[in-house]
Every structure is written in structure tokens, then in C-alpha cells.
Structure 1
């Protein structure tokens, strides 16, 4: 029985282009579409999902395991999910989103049943219980988030250590010598959110080297608790002239707090995405979180491994996106 790869080869196009032509998920040139359809007819290819899975052992579906934790800011997670699903669609793959609390059990179920061709993990913990299952699965996996042990998977994340250093450097360069760092809630750290301590520890070390006094605290995940927390911090640290925000809820709440207190001149550096900054009209410098870019990188690498025997034999990669500082809007 002919496969999608046979059709693509006969038509002189890539597998993803052949998939687009047969599924209609994306516009392609009329000439390419016609060649694909003619090749599919000549080879007797049936673009039925069940028949395709039986013939090729491929489903053209990627598994995406994510969780919406109550103590994290949900809109930030949505940006990662869109980065994954949009790229998967562009490459001719559907996405199966799995949000079950038992992530390891859900992962074992979808990989053992061959429901997916590969898996992307979000909400990656330092000692993530899903990783042993993914390493043992026949399908390849990619992570958005840096675990303690990166073996057996491709890993993509922001360079949070560099982000912490960049944030301190920014305010030190503006002359500030006492700062407050607001991190994610403590529960995020307790369940293994390594990105929190990676940024915090790097920021504290940089501040120490520069002679800056840095107060590191855990924040809240929702308003109005975030507003109350910020107000209490500013009252408790009257000598602090700058804020570092590794907490989206605190960043979204800060403008109303500073307006109410007449602190519009407070220097702030955040860590979030450009879309987040635009959505909440945040007037601060920030380190770009790049959730869409990270999702795209993970999916493209995963699809390479799915579609190429040569790519499957390549060493696994750990790629950290450099921390880029964006100036506040003028």
C-alpha cells in the first residue's frame, strides 16, 4: 500500500506539502496540488487516517502534554500551546492535547497505543515523572523546559540564568543599588519549576558581584492577591528603587499599584513575551520569553526525527534561547 512518502516522492514535493494538498489544511500552489493528487491516484493512496496508520505506522498526530496549574498564570501557558499547535499544523500534523493530572499515565497510554507519532512536553519539572516513560516510548520526544536530566530527549528553553543576569545588569546600569525580585509562587518551586531558581540564583549571584542589594521573594499568581503582595513589598522595602518581575501576574498588576501610589518612576524589568506586554500595555523593559519560538523549535526538531531515519540517529540537543532585553515603549 502506498504511503504519504511515496506520494510526495512521486510528485516531487515534501511530505508536509503532500499532506497539505490531501488535507486542505494549508494553501499550496495549484501545480503542486495537482501533482500530489495525480500521484495519489496513480499509486492508489488512500488519505484515510486509519488506513494511513496501518500502512505507515504513522498517525500524523503529535501528542502535547500540558497542565494549567492554579498557581501559574494561564495566559502564559496558552502561548506555548499555540506555538506548538500552529507549527504542527504548518507541518501537516494534528495535535492531541492531554491535560490529565496523571501525566505519566496519560503519556504511557498514548504512546503504547500508537495514538501519536511524537510527543512534546510542557510544564517540565526538574525531576519530571513523565521522562522515564517518554525515554522508553517508541516515539521521539521534545521538551519545552529544562529538566535535571536531559538524556534521551531534545530540550528547548529560555536561558533563564542569562535572563537573571541581564535583568540585574539593566537596573544596575541605570544606577539602582537596591532591588526586589518577584518570582513565581513557592508551590511552583516545590513541584520542580527549575526555571524559577535558575533565574533567581543567577540574579542573586550577579547582584552580589555588582554590589547590589537584591531581595528575592515569591509572588502570587492571581489578582487581587498580586496587587496586595506588591503593595506590601513596596512598603516593606522603601529603599528599593527597582523591581525584577519573574511573575506574569505581578507584571500585569503592577501598573495599577504604581499609579495608586504615585510611583510611575519606579524602574522595572520583567520576564514575559512581547504579546503579553502588548496585551496588558506594560510600559517596562523586559526579557522576551519567546514561547511561540520555543514551541516551534521543539516541533520542528520532533518532526525531523519522525520523518528522517538520519535525524533519528543524531545526538539529542539542548538548545537555550538567548535572553534578549527589549526596551520599554517610548
Structure 2
């Protein structure tokens, strides 16, 4: 069985240095820490959790508080979870996934029990009731999602306002003058899903700046309803030459909807979505899209959280990091077709 001595020899350091690198009890240079972590991965070393907790007051477990809502597309949430759990494992932490409906009670119970070293919160609402208990907890936390008030908590999100502006700007450059934005269901906004209106507000501001007509509708997150919604949108706004999709279910359903209507993209209509690159590959989506950066956001949240745990940098300023949107052009953007 591999022990800490084996790890130390493989990393070229003393046994105590290897132990400190894994426990975070002393400051270790990034290069040495990386050597130790590489040795851990290569040797398959697994420290005894009980002994480690007694010796370090650490569990090396992070709590991931996620929520799965009926009116959102569940496969999209899985991309965030994978980014968090994979990066946590790379950094020597296990992940406790908590999906209880009462997030406040769950967070308070777990924090009080000291069963985890820190928290990562998903599905963060504009006025999220979990934030005050998180601020009061002894363990640090990180958010994937921007709330109205992120004071005292490290926060990571896509810059949705900039994403909406970029979508409209790109189609404006191609000569489009009427666009339709399909957002998540309206219930998502009502419960605090600020990313929906942030993208919509950005798109509206850029459309107004360029004199573009922007139609905004809310679509279902489930089949077959989203297919019906898309057909209704295409019927209602026949002059719109571009579709903006801030709804993963709509993106997944659109290829079959267009095919059934004898339409193609970009010959008949240009399309820009907002979803992860992994999501696009899973559903073989041919549309240009802004990567929602699910994997990157999850990894950045874990890295910041682990950094706080290892450096005890409780007094360091908390960060709000918004990922700049970039359009991955898959060939679904072109000049609008001639008016019929």
C-alpha cells in the first residue's frame, strides 16, 4: 500500500514537506506542491480520512450545493458539476453533492457538523437565501453564479450582459435588422435567475444602440413543448433573420424544428446560442454559440476555495470574476437572406 513516504520520495521532498503540501498547514511553494500532487496522482495515494481529519482538523471534502429545477434543462447543470468535482479531485478533495430543496437548512447543518472544509454553491439566485448562512459559517465558500450582493464571498460567472451585447453586435455586423431572443422559462426569472435578464438586458441595449428590432420570448425547458414554442416563434416573427438562444432545450430542439419546416441555418436564418461546448458536442449542435464556460467556472471556484483553505487567507479581498464571452463560430452566422 502506498504511504506518505512513497509520495515524498517520488516528489523528491521530505516526508514532512509532502505532508504539509497535502494538509495545507504550512506555506509550500507552488512548484513543490505541484510535485507532491503529481506524485499522489501517479502513485494513487489515498490518505486515511479519519487520521487526516484528526491530525489536521481538515476533512479534504468540499460540499457542492446544487439544485435541480423542473423548469431548467438538467443536462446543462451536469457540466458545472463535472467541472467542480473533477478539479476538486485533482487538488486532493472529495465532493459531497447536496441537492436538498431546503438549501439553507442543509448548508447550516453541514457547516455546524464540520463535515466539510468549504462550500461551492450552484444555481445562485439574485437574492439567494443561502448566502447569509454561508457568510456566517466558519468554512469559506465560492459561488458559481452572480447574486445581487456577493459581499464576502468569492464569485464566478459568465458576463451575461456582455454575452447579450456580443450576440447582437455580431449579427448587426452581418446586416441583420430584426432578431428574436428565446430565453429560459419565465419562472426562472421569477425565482431569481438573474442570468436570464442580464443577457436579455445586454441584448436589448445593443439592439437599441443599432436600431435593431429585438423580439424577446420565453421558451419551455422540456420537449415537446419547446418544439411547439419554437414553431410559434418562427410563425409570429417571420421577418426575424436571426435567433439568439439563451435556452439549452431550445438549442437542442432547433435542428429538428428547422428541418421539419424546410429551413436551414444560416441560409434561411442565422443562429447564436449560449451553452457549453460539451453540451454542443453531446447534442451534435451545428450552431455558433457563446460557451457558458461551465467547466471553467466550476474549476475556478474550486481553485479559489482551495487557495483560501491552504493559505488561510481569510483577510484577502474576495473576488468577483466574470468570464468574457467569446463566440465559437460553427458556421450558423451569415448575412440575412433577401427579403421575400
TM-score (norm: length of structure 2): 0.86
Structure 1 position 307, deviation (Å): 1.0
Structure 1 segment 1-330 matched on structure 2, within 5 A = 9-11=16-18, 14-15=21-22, 26-28=41-43, 47-264=47-264, 265=267, 266-309=269-312, 311-329=313-331
Alpha-carbon displacement from aligned partner over 1:243-277 (angstroms, at most 9, x marks no partner) = 00000000000011111112202100000111111
Structure 1 position 10, deviation (Å): 3.1
In 1, Cα distance between the equivalents of 2:139 and 2:182? 39
Query: Is 1:80–1:295's contact at 8 Å kept on the other side of the alignment?
Result: yes
Partner of 1:203, secondary structure, is helix
In 1, Cα distance between the equivalents of 2:224 and 2:78? 21
Counterpart of 1:43 in structure 2 is none
Structure 1 position 48, deviation (Å): 2.8
In 1, Cα distance between the equivalents of 2:204 and 2:16? 55
Partner of 2:257, secondary structure, is helix
Structure 1 position 170, deviation (Å): 1.4
In 2, Cα distance between the equivalents of 1:287 and 1:161? 12
In 1, Cα distance between the equivalents of 2:175 and 2:111? 54
In 2, Cα distance between the equivalents of 1:28 and 1:107? 34
In 2, Cα distance between the equivalents of 1:8 and 1:104? 41
Partner of 1:14, secondary structure, is helix
Structure 1 position 51, deviation (Å): 2.8
Counterpart of 1:41 in structure 2 is none
In 2, Cα distance between the equivalents of 1:11 and 1:220? 52
Query: Is 1:65–1:121's contact at 8 Å kept on the other side of the alignment?
Result: yes
In 1, Cα distance between the equivalents of 2:183 and 2:131? 26
In 2, Cα distance between the equivalents of 1:8 and 1:298? 30
Query: Is 1:20–1:92's contact at 8 Å kept on the other side of the alignment?
Result: no
In 2, Cα distance between the equivalents of 1:242 and 1:285? 12
TM-score (norm: length of structure 1): 0.88
Change (3 A) 1:71 1:152: same
Counterpart of 1:40 in structure 2 is none
RMSD: 2.3
Partner of 1:157, secondary structure, is strand
Number of aligned pairs? Answer: 309
